[in-house]
Amino acid sequence: MELLSFGDTGWGDELFLATLMTIAVSIAAMAIGFLFALIFTPLKLSKNKSLNIIGNCYTTIIRGVPELLVIYLLFFGGTGAAMYVASIFGYDGYIEINAFITGALAIGIISGAYSTEVFRGAILSIDKGQFEASKVLGIKKNIQFYKIILPQMLRLSIPNLSNIWQITLKDTSLISVTGLVEIMRQSYIAAGSTRDPLFFYSVAAVLYLMLTFLSMKLINKLETKYSKGY
Amino acid sequence: MISIFPSLLSGAVITLQLLVSSMFFGLIIGLIFAILRINKNPIINKFAYGYSYFFRGTPLLVQLYLIYYGLANIELLRNSFFWVIIKEPYWCAIIAFSLNTGAYTSEILRSAFQTIKKGYIEAAQSLGVTKKITFYRIQLPIAVKQSLPAYGNEIILMLKGTSLASVITIMDLMGEARKVNVLTFKPFEAFITAGVIYLFITFIIHNIIKYLEKKYGFQT
């Protein structure tokens, strides 16, 4: 227990900050994932063949490739790519991309692929009559999407999104390989300097369990709130 | 480009070895825990639930580190026969992956067991079929058939999970890709080639499961 005290002698405060970092990365990744999903869901549903192929490629490739690979590609390749782009604009210095941004982007791309599938499923399960009814009533496509489709889509996708949130939360542990100090990295450091890996990895496991448990509770509340009318 | 291919392929063989052995042990563990989960005894039930909750609620990386770095910390284990197994990163990876996939498999099988119509079991009972035979001949085949699609997904998730073995010094496909990246400073070539190989394996697994589903699954 002494090892977990706050202050200079214990690892409590470090682990607490690391937990906050994990939460921050997860939320950032989830938000980036939503952005990707909002771009790629229409592509997957579109009637245009070539747009369709782009959407399918994104979800198939990302879901068929290890998460670690995406992270390594962005981490090792991202710097080179950024420096190449900068050299076109005449800047030849070294550019280092922040580990937080790389990590959130990598996990975001992954969770985006899963979110795209969820949104697509949700839109497809909305009754066709609703689209037709709103068309008959002369509602514009724009408003039809925001006022009729989107609210239903969100409600239908909450259970699946909660799964994706759990997966995203666990995936952030992989960012530790790039050096971002979140739960996993902090326990790695602590385990290394105290030579007590069993204890610190157990603490990490408990922290992750706590995070998944708490988010489950929150999401369940959200779910009951949004399914009130049903 | 061509020169990196042989080393990546040798890594892919290790990846497949890891996948096959952990799926094999995972299936056995999953089956045992699924049976424990549908047991009516609350203590056994809670134990099985706790197992699956822990392994599904924590990242695979934590489990891998706990087994690879953590278990070596216990003096008792270090002096026992188990040390022969635990000191090898390869076996640690297989243990971690098997326990992880076992938890997910137990959930898949449990839900399959629970969706079996009660009428089947009642019919068997009224025909005088013993409980044992009811389980092996009626419940188990139906549960296996029903869980095929979900199990296919689990195999693909595990394939992606095996890439974590590279973190504990195993030279699987991911490990080889990292080595190529370090040696050549060509991250895009190394990781994209590895990604294509992973996609290819995923594609094959997907098609095998699809074939099995068509052949043995329920026609809907």
CATH number, domain with residue B199: 1.10.3720.10
**Average pLDDT of chain B, as a whole number:** 90
pLDDT tens-place string over residues A25-74 = 999 999 999 999 989 998 998 888 999 999 999 999 999 999 999 999 99
Confidence at B175, pLDDT banded by 50, 70, 90: very high
Q: What angle do CA A44, A46, A51 make, to 5 degrees?
A: 70
Collapsing DSSP to helix, strand or coil, A11 comes out as: coil
Token readout for B167 is 């973190």
Nearest to B195 among A69, A171, A196 (CB): A69
In DSSP notation, chain A reads: -GGG-SSSS-SHHHHHHHHHHHHHHHHHHHHHHHHHHHHHHHHHH-S-HHHHHHHHHHHHHHHHS-HHHHHHHHHHHHHHHHHHHHHHTT--S-----HHHHHHHHHHHHHHHHHHHHHHHHHHTS-HHHHHHHHHTT--HHHIIIIIIHHHHHHHHHHHHHHHHHHHHHHGGGGGGGT--SHHHHHHHHHHHHT-HHHHHHHHHHHHHHHHHHHHHHHHHHHHHHTTT-
- Reduce the DSSP state of residue B4 to 3 states and report it: coil
pLDDT of B96 above 50: yes
3-state DSSP helix/strand/coil % of chain B, to nearest 5: 85, 0, 15
Q: Residue A230's pLDDT is what? A: 67
Question: A100, A172 in Cβ contact below 8 A?
Answer: no
- Measure A197 CA to nearest chain B CA, in Å: 5
Question: Which pLDDT score, from 0 to 100, does residue B220 have?
Answer: 47
Which member of A173, A198, A209 has the closest CB to residue B61?
A: A173
Instruction: Determine the 3-state secondary structure of A101 from DSSP.
Output: helix
For residue B163, the chain A residues in CB contact (below 8 A) are 66-69
pLDDT band per the 50, 70, 90 thresholds, residue B5? confident
In chain B, what percentage of residues exceed pLDDT 90?
A: 60
CB-based contact A197 B72, cutoff 8 Å? yes
Give the pLDDT band (50/70/90) at residue B140: confident
B28 touches chain A (CB under 8 A): no
Q: Inspect the interface and report whether the beta carbons of A174 and B195 lie closer than 8 Å.
A: no
User: Is residue B194 less than 8 Å (CB to CB) from chain A?
Assistant: yes
Residue B219 in this model has a pLDDT that exceeds 60? no
Q: What is the mean pLDDT of residues B119-124?
A: 90
* Structure confidence at residue A1 as a pLDDT band (50, 70, 90): low
pLDDT confidence bin for B33, thresholds 50/70/90: very high
Reported as a pLDDT band with limits 50, 70 and 90, residue B218 is low
Helix A12-45 and helix A99-124, axial crossing angle in degrees, nearest 10: 40
What is the Cα–Cα distance from A187 to A127, expressed in whole angstroms?
49
Rounded to whole angstroms, the Cα distance separating A172 from A23 reads 9
Which residue of B69, B192, B197, B209 to mutate against A (max A Cβ within 10 Å)? Answer: B69
Mean pLDDT of A137-142: 87
Q: Is residue A226 pLDDT above 90, yes or no?
A: no
Which residue has 């590609």 as its token pair? A73
Coil, strand, or helix at residue B2?
Answer: coil
**What pLDDT score was predicted for residue A205?**
94
Do B33 and B52 form a contact (C-beta atoms < 8 A)? yes
- ipTM for the whole predicted complex goes beyond 0.95: no
> What mean pLDDT, rounded, does chain A reach?
88
Ordered by where they begin, the domains of chain A are: 11-226 (1.10.3720.10)
Across A136-140, A191-195, B73-77, least confident range: B73-77
Amino acid at B198: Y
Higher pLDDT, B196 or B76: B196
Closest CA relative to residue A183, chosen from A7, A11, A3, A8? A11
The CA distance from B159 to B197, in Å, is: 12
pLDDT > 80? residue A4: no
Whether residue B64 contacts residue B96, with contact meaning beta carbons closer than 8 Å, is answered with: yes
Task: Please answer yes or no on whether B177 and A188 come within 8 Å at the CB atom.
Answer: no
Contacts with B60 from chain A: Cβ below 8 Å: 170
Rounded-to-integer distance, Cα A42 and Cα A40, Å: 6
Q: Do A184 and B58 touch (CB under 8 A)?
A: no
B106 versus B217: the higher-pLDDT residue is B106
Instruction: List, for residues B163-172, the tens digit of each pLDDT value.
Output: 999 999 899 9
3-class SS at A47? coil
Q: Residues 151 to 190 of B: which have CB under 8 A from any A CB? A: 156, 159-164, 166-167, 174, 177-178, 181, 187-188
Domain span including residue B180: 5-216
Please answer yes or no on whether A64 and B156 come within 8 Å at the CB atom. yes
In this prediction, residue B29 carries a pLDDT of: 96
Q: From B201, B21, B186, B31, select the one nearest B96 (Cα to Cα).
A: B21
CB-defined contacts A:B, below 8 A = 113
| Residue A110, CA distances (Å) to A68, A118, B58, B63 in order | 10, 13, 18, 21
Chain A, nearest residue to B71 by Cα: A198
Lowest mean pLDDT among A79-93, A181-195, B7-21, B90-104: A79-93
The domain total for chain B is: 1
Q: Residue B158: is its pLDDT beyond 90? A: yes
List, in order, residues 6 or more apart from B182 with CB less than 8 Å away.
none
- A-chain CB neighbours of B161 within 8 Å are 66
pLDDT at B61: 94
Task: Residue B202: name the closest of B163, B146, B169, B144 by CA.
Answer: B163
What whole-number distance in Å separates Cα of residue B56 and Cα of residue A220?
A: 18
Its sign, for the CA torsion A57, A63, A66, A69, is positive
Residue contact B54–A212, C-beta within 8 A: no
